[in-house]
Structure 1
Amino acid sequence: MKNLYSLLLLSFLTFSCNSDSDGETEPTPEAMYFPPSDGSNTWESKSVADLNWNQNAVQPLLDYLELKNTKSFIILVNGRIVMENYFNGHSATTPWYWASAGKTLTATVTGIAQEEGLININNKVSDYLGTGWTSAPLAKESMITCKNLLCMTSGLNDALGDDVSPANLQYVADAGTRWAYHNVYVKLQDVVAQASGQTWTNYFNTKLRDRIGMTGGAWINSDGLSVYWSTTRNMARFGLLSLNQGKWDGNTIVNSAYFNQATTTSQNLNQAYGYLWWLNGKSTYRLPGLQLQFNGTLIPNAPSDMYAALGKNDQKIYVIPSMKMVIIRMGEVANPENPTFALSGFDNELWDKINDLYQ
């Protein structure tokens, strides 16, 4: 009798834990999926119908993407592929450049190096590179920290082009007093290389790329800057890592506390900027090349909790935690008459089409 009573009690407790107040069983939340990190092409999928999204909105979205010079487009929900489409001669195996969307790779690896005790982002850049890495007066150069490079607040002149040689890194304002979008952030790659005693590529590959299966991607030198190239699925892998705040299938790739800092307003000059990540849902924002502050949110049609890696010619990684969603877009510039370095009008137009899928 005692055994029967125990069995009935266990059954009741199990039922209670999986039922709502009306006695109806609640569905178990779907687990986050991670594709294998062994370089295989295996990746679970989920259909638009499975999500009860609007199938009638799919083709207008695809037509728009093709019209806007898109090469590839992926939507992940809970890590699973919901849409994966290629256009204009591109394929799943063709690499394409990330442009400035790859800044977030540098921010992530910088966090890994800090977690390993190799660097401290609050330290001066010159602690790792020595003095004279800019042409600023020594006292001004010594004010620039690694965090300033992550936040785009180096105070160096952003109007002199992509060249980051010392002669082209000229003082404009004290570090921390001026926000300006500047390729000087790549000096963080030199910092990591110097502190680790490895090449940047080797450290990046072993600490990030290979651990999440971004096989085949590579840094390629372009006009003095290293630009990352990879397949679209590899970009999606990094987006999935970012959605999970630096964790990959139970393994910590980058400390979640650091990643949270990276995707939170990092300074008081541009609310919409973290550590090389763009942040939606803020009340004001600044844009590359302008010393102006704009009122309103960065991408009004997009979810307010979204953070994004944005690159020249409309390379996009959108990460939306509230929807457990990652969206990737690679391609040529969407609106050739209005090319931009990062954010463009295309972002808001695209989100108008995406919203039709599920609203």
Structure 2
Amino acid sequence: MSFFVLFNSNAQGLYFPPNESEEWKKQPLHELGWDGVKMAEFLAWLPTQDTRAFIILKDGKIVVEEYWGSKLTGVGEMDQSSYWYWASAGKTLTATLVGIAENQNLLKTSDRTQKYLGEGWTSLTSKQERAIRLNHQLTMTTGLDDRVASPDAISPGSLTFLAEPGKRWAYHNAPYTLLEDVIKNASGMSFQNYFQDNLGEKIGMKGFWQKTGANNVFYSNARSMARFGLLLLAKGNWNGEKIWSGDFFDELSQSSQNLNRSYGYLTWLNGKSSYMIPQSQTIFPGMFVPNAPEDMYQALGKNGQMLMVIPSEGLVIVRMGGAGEGSQIPFLLIRDSWERLKPVIE
């Protein structure tokens, strides 16, 4: 598991680590005015939750970097070069690639999904299928039935009608996974090569996409996840190079529909009046993470994969590892983490 925190009031003062180097500037914790005793307690708690790595950055500079336990392969101890899976935290990364493709005029999020996947990518009638657009996949509102035997399966037989697009929010992996094919067909490149050419190489981000069952999962080390978080914090500007721009990225971290106010483009939002969680149609009142800043937005994945960005504070937090919660998103762990982290940085 890994945890990254970046602090800065705006992107202009951020430090960006070199792309082709292990060099990363550091800054002492005591200069931040954070509570060192509570930080020590927090760091002691993290490995009890199967945390594998924890890093804090201020203005892009490393303040704390710790690793615990064994690598994902089970051979050797975790370190800064060790790869770990992002699980559904990779959804925000995929949404970013869709936005970059739209910047390049390869697609429009208002396009019908049929334009890129062809007719018959679902078991719906032609009229029903034509109503599904890319923005429905980005917002989890396709109306496809997530209660099928295998909600990860992307075959037409597993994609059946339940509601009109835009009328029902459901955390459904299959329509999300198919965005990989959308990008492949729109760009004429493999998904891995598109990521590498248009994002990874530009910010020194290492990692690869790999099929795991029906899902497409991203793997990287903790520092690469932090680089992506830093890019989000800097609004797509990596040390003077503009990786992206436009309304898509302003909207990524805003409520994307009125059903689950705490969901943007494949990204979880804090500070909203209500939220929904996977495998439930219940609307819960209040903020998703009550102890966290209201403007925080998050990429979250199974077993506690977390990438949190807080624009008002210039904070980015990344956490990777295992967790006993077992849910599709680390709902309880993120709350427990903020109960302990908030007193550190107040």
- TM norm structure 2: 0.92
1:112 aligned onto 2:100: yes
Residue 14 of structure 1 corresponds to none
Residue 18 of structure 2 corresponds to 36
Determine the C-alpha separation between the residues in 2 that align with 1:94 and 1:354: 25
1:354 aligned onto 2:341: yes
1:256, distance to aligned residue in structure 2 (A): 4.5
Q: Is the CA contact 1:48–1:54 (under 8 Å) kept in the aligned structure 2?
A: no
Q: 2:275 aligns with which of 278, 282, 285?
A: 285
Map 1:140-159 to 2 at 5 A: 140-159=128-147
Determine the C-alpha separation between the residues in 1 that align with 2:123 and 2:27: 53
Residue 8 of structure 1 corresponds to none
Q: Which range moved further: 67-76 or 108-117?
A: 67-76
Report which of the two structures shows the higher radius of gyration computed on alpha carbons: 1
Amino acid at match of 2:141: T
Q: Is the CA contact 2:303–2:330 (under 8 Å) kept in the aligned structure 1?
A: no
SS for the counterpart of 1:323 is: coil
Determine the C-alpha separation between the residues in 1 that align with 2:159 and 2:242: 35
Q: Deviations over 1:9-60 (max 9, x none)?
A: xxxxxxxxxxxxxxxxxxxx9821111122x111112221011111111221
Q: Is the CA contact 1:283–1:296 (under 8 Å) kept in the aligned structure 2?
A: yes
The Cα RMSD (Å) is 1.3
Residue 67 of structure 2 corresponds to 86
Determine the C-alpha separation between the residues in 2 that align with 1:343 and 1:88: 20
Q: 2:266 aligns with which of 276, 282, 289?
A: 276
Q: Deviations over 1:142-198 (max 9, x none)?
A: 111000000000001112331111111111101110000011112111111101111
Q: Deviations over 1:81-104 (max 9, x none)?
A: 222111113211110000000001
1:224, distance to aligned residue in structure 2 (A): 2.0
Residue 196 of structure 2 corresponds to 205
Determine the C-alpha separation between the residues in 1 that align with 2:117 and 2:226: 33
Residue 315 of structure 2 corresponds to 325
Q: Give structure 2 stretches of 5+ with no counterpart.
A: 1-10, 71-77
Map 1:47-58 to 2 at 5 A: 47-58=28-39
Q: Is the CA contact 1:247–1:256 (under 8 Å) kept in the aligned structure 2?
A: no
Q: 2:303 aligns with which of 313, 316, 326?
A: 313
Q: Is the CA contact 2:101–2:107 (under 8 Å) kept in the aligned structure 1?
A: yes
1:77, distance to aligned residue in structure 2 (A): 2.3
1:222 aligned onto 2:222: no
Determine the C-alpha separation between the residues in 2 that align with 1:242 and 1:169: 32
Residue 180 of structure 2 corresponds to 189
Q: 1:71 aligns with which of 32, 49, 52?
A: 52
1:75, distance to aligned residue in structure 2 (A): 2.1
Q: Give structure 1 stretches of 5+ with no counterpart.
A: 1-28
Q: Is the CA contact 2:305–2:330 (under 8 Å) kept in the aligned structure 1?
A: no
Amino acid at match of 1:178: R
Residue 24 of structure 1 corresponds to none
Q: 1:345 aligns with which of 329, 332, 336?
A: 332
Q: Which range moved further: 233-242 or 246-255?
A: 246-255
1:257, distance to aligned residue in structure 2 (A): 2.7
Q: Is the CA contact 2:103–2:246 (under 8 Å) kept in the aligned structure 1?
A: no
Amino acid at match of 1:42: E
Amino acid at match of 2:335: N
Q: Deviations over 1:278-318 (max 9, x none)?
A: 00000101111101100000000111010000001110001
Determine the C-alpha separation between the residues in 2 that align with 1:188 and 1:315: 21
Q: Is the CA contact 1:73–1:327 (under 8 Å) kept in the aligned structure 2?
A: no
Q: Is the CA contact 1:75–1:325 (under 8 Å) kept in the aligned structure 2?
A: no
Residue 4 of structure 2 corresponds to none
SS for the counterpart of 2:143 is: coil
Could you list the structure 1 runs, at least 4 aligned residues long, displaced by more than 4 angstroms after superposition.
Answer: none
Q: 1:59 aligns with which of 15, 26, 40?
A: 40
Residue identity (%): 43
Amino acid at match of 1:191: V
1:326, distance to aligned residue in structure 2 (A): 0.9
Q: Is the CA contact 2:110–2:133 (under 8 Å) kept in the aligned structure 1?
A: yes
Number of residue pairs matched by the alignment: 326
